[in-house]
Structures are given as structure tokens and as C-alpha cells.
Amino acid sequence: MQQTKTVYQIGIDVGSTTTKIVALEPESGRVAYADYQRHHADQVKSVSDAVWRLAGHFPDGEFRFALTGSGAKSLAEAVGLPYVQEVVANSIALRARYERVGTAIELGGQDAKIIFFRKNSTSGQLEAADMRMNGSCAGGTGAFLDEIASLLHVPIEEFDSLAAKGDCVYDVSGRCGVYAKTDIQPLLNQGVSRENIALSAFHAVAKQTIGGLAQGLEIQRPVAFEGGPLTFNPTLVRVFQERLGLADDEILIPERPELMMARGAA
């Protein structure tokens, strides 16, 4: 008698700088496999490579795919796969994890989003009520932090530990990397430490996100923090906590927050 193959639900999030893939077990919904890679502007190849790595991990598995993310819609149409709008994917993933979410702040490689949630009056399910996105400029995103790290001659992997040692915040523009460099260079000339400049860059990101994206809408609590820059920079989450005045129990850090869109698509 032929053994039935396990059918995994696969979500692929094709973002502005990275490709994420998540495989969920069909019964439990547990993450059975995940992969996160920079695509270096070759999104199609990155997806192909991710699928081949997935197939190598589950040589006897079968897969059902759905795509999400800023770079996924045309690719999904080309290969005939379902596409899930990323805000919808995010709300699905958060609803599966939490009973209550007020707001989600998601920072990507070249965009930033604040999603405002509410409970549906009929079903009681969590749904997106509004969304603000910084799509025209990479200010306040992962690319912004990459630029500042390069200016400070610090590997991006060490940027958070550098900022964690800072003890003084200077006014740095978070709207644009060019403006930020204009602010930072005089500080370097004055002998301001790289630690304090790194911490100031995190405050610039938080200030830009809260002031520039919320646009007068109240950030309801609890707040979920998602996306690569907030996953790999816990000091940045602490800065958001300080600027928003959040208590510890008002902060939601999902498991593998950099994979939330992919998980929601799956």
C-alpha cells in the first residue's frame, strides 16, 4: 500500500530586500521549516533557490504554495499561484497567535508599515482597520540602517550591540539617508561616539515611523513588532517602547517576527 505524502502549506514572502519562506505542518500548523535570505535584487532567482532548498529538506513532501510581499504579485500571476496581500497575510498570522493586537509596526528592507487592528463586530475576529506605509522613500527602514552602519564602518550585524552601549541621543533625521548623513557627519567631526550615533539612528527610525506614518492616528496597545530590522535589533524595539511609553506587557514579539508575512500566507 502506497504511503500518503505529507502536504505542507508554504508561504513565500518576497520583500524589497529579502525572500522568506515558511512551511507549516498541515495538522498542527507548526513551523516545520523556514528560510530567510537577501535576494540582492534578483527576486525570481531567490524564490527559485528557496523552493529548491525546501524540496531538498522535504524530498518526499508535497507542497501548496501562496505568495505575498511587495515583489510577489507579478511572480504569482506568472506561475499561477495564489497571491495574498501582505497586510491580509499579516493579520492572519497575528490572529493565529494573539487574541488581541492594537497595532503592528513592521519594518522591512525598504518600506515601513503601521497596521491598525480592530475586532470585527460580527465575528469577533481580528482585522485590519487601517494601514500607513512609507513606500516612496527608504527612510526609517532597514536600508536606512544599512547606510548609517556603512557610514560608521560597522558591520550591520554589530550595529545593535553598538547602539546598546549608547547613553546620549542626538537629533538625526529619519526621513532620508542623505539627510541623516548631513546630520551625522558634523557629530563625528565633533567627536561624538559611534555608540551614541547608532543609538540616535534608532531614535530617528522610531521618530520617523511614529510621527511620519501614524499621521495623527493613535497607536493602540498592545503593539506587535515585526520585520527584519526589529527582529535583529532588539535595542530598536526598546527605543520604540520608550518613545511610545509601552509597559512590558504591551509589547508583542511573535516567534520569528521576520517571517510573519510568509507565515500568514502559508
Instruction: Sort 6 into a burial class: Cβ within 10 Å, 0-12 / 13-18 / 19+.
Output: middle
3-class DSSP state of 26: coil
Amino acid 1: pLDDT:
47
Length of the chain counted residue by residue = 266
- 61's CB contacts (< 8 A; 6+ apart) are 5, 6, 7, 8, 55
User: How does DSSP classify residue 192?
Assistant: -
Tell me the C-alpha distance between 162 and 149, whole Å. 10
Chain CA centroid to CA 52, Å: 24
In order along its 266 residues, the chain shows pLDDT tens digits of 456 778 999 999 999 889 999 999 888 889 999 999 999 999 999 999 999 999 999 998 999 999 999 889 999 999 999 999 988 899 899 988 898 999 999 998 888 889 999 888 888 787 888 888 876 566 678 889 999 999 999 999 999 999 999 999 999 987 676 778 889 999 999 999 999 999 999 999 999 899 888 877 899 999 999 999 999 999 999 999 999 999 999 999 998 999 999 999 99
Within 10 angstroms of residue 248's Cβ, the number of other Cβ atoms is: 6
